[in-house]
Amino acid sequence: MSNSTGFKSYLHLHFLVLIWGFTAIVGLMVTISPVTLVFYRTLFAAIGLGIIILVQKKKFTANRKDVLRMFVVGFCLSAHWMLFFASARVSTASVCLAGMATTSLWTSLIEPLVNSRPVKLLEVGLGLLAFAGLYVVFKFEFNHALGLGLALAAALLAAIFTVANSRFVQKIDAYTITFYEMVGATFFSFLMTGIFRWVGWAGSEPVRPNGQDWLWILFLALICTVYASTMATHLMKQFSAYLVNLTINLEPVYGIALAFFFFREKERMTPGFYWGTLLILMAVLLYPFLSSNIFKSQEKQA
């Protein structure tokens, strides 16, 4: 893979992150609960992926152990999205997205454990810089502590999900991986929807989407999930899970700008919030300059 091809793939990754930056906004535009929203999103995503696999004559096949693992990762992804949308609901889209920036720090600790490699000081250092930015955000936006806490938990689950996918993609097609994960996520979110209603945690939010809700749900399912998640999984053949998650740290930057465009004064934050976000942005932009291996293919692709 040439440097030019690698750079185009890197730009593609940023485009996918821009799409994901819009998801917290969508979560605020729908009327149904975060748990129910995840159920509909994953259900339609699984259906869409199944149709694509059939039309393109790809294979659903994977060994039983890997299918079970992908289901479990789907549970993890489902929980991640529930916490993500809940964070935006109880605070703001901007706070939710800022909390997600700790994903790279979690990844710098989880990926070495899973792949049995030494922890890289560069990765930990830049992850800590992103975490310092989060601390600044928290210091000036303490009234959004619950939303920030939910976002931190969502970031941890996002790191686990990305590291797991970086291993799957080496031997299984990206569409197949995402399909089984969406099936697992649909099952988990359906189960959680029933539990939340049974114990009375669903509140007064409706279960059935209204007319406008359906448009946003389809956007989440087809654009943010079927397209963006599958393409991101495919790009993991070229980039490490750490780089993918570090780039995803730009999601707060893109998302905050989009949230201010859509919600104006509701999303206006203190100057400290934007200083913290700037630290997060620095962590993302420094990595390409400090690492010389970003646009190099893996040895088997050389």
User: Is residue 302 in a domain?
Assistant: no
Over residues 50-63, the mean pLDDT reads: 85
| Structural domain that includes position 101 | 22-294
Over residues 119-137, the mean pLDDT reads: 78
**CA–CA–CA angle 66, 72, 73 (5° rounding):** 90
Cα distances (Å, whole numbers) of residue 53 to 50, 155, 214: 5, 29, 24
For residue 45, what pLDDT is reported?
92
User: Is residue 9 in a domain?
Assistant: no
**Other beta carbons less than 10 A from residue 205's beta carbon:** 14
User: Is residue 11 in a domain?
Assistant: no
User: Is residue 5 in a domain?
Assistant: no
H helices within the chain, ranges in order? 3-20, 23-29, 34-55, 64-90, 93-99, 103-115, 121-140, 145-168, 174-199, 211-218, 228-235, 241-248, 251-263, 271-290
Over residues 186-190, the mean pLDDT reads: 95
Q: What is the pLDDT of residues 211-224, one digit of tens each?
A: 889 999 999 899 98
Q: Is 140 helix (H, G, I), strand (E, B) or coil?
A: helix
User: Is residue 148 in a domain?
Assistant: yes
Asked if the model's pLDDT at residue 292 lies above 60, the reply is no
- Model pTM score: 0.79
Question: What is the chain's alpha carbon radius of gyration, rounded to the nearest angstrom?
Answer: 19
**Burial readout 209-230 (b: 16 or more C-beta within 10 A, e: otherwise):** beeebeebbebbbbebbbbbbb
User: Is residue 31 in a domain?
Assistant: yes
* Burial class, 283, CB count within 10 angstroms (exposed 0-12 / middle 13-18 / buried 19+): buried
Over residues 35-47, the mean pLDDT reads: 93
Sequence letter at residue 140: F
User: Is residue 4 in a domain?
Assistant: no
Q: What is the mean pLDDT of the chain?
A: 80
- Highest-confidence segment of 6-15, 157-166, 251-260: 157-166
pLDDT band at residue 12 using 50, 70 and 90 as cut-offs:
confident
User: Is residue 271 in a domain?
Assistant: yes
Asked if the model's pLDDT at residue 300 lies above 60, the reply is no
For residue 116, what pLDDT is reported?
78
Domain tally, the chain: 1
- Highest-confidence segment of 6-10, 163-167, 195-199, 272-276: 163-167
Asked if the model's pLDDT at residue 297 lies above 50, the reply is no
Tell which wins on pLDDT, 250 or 62. 62
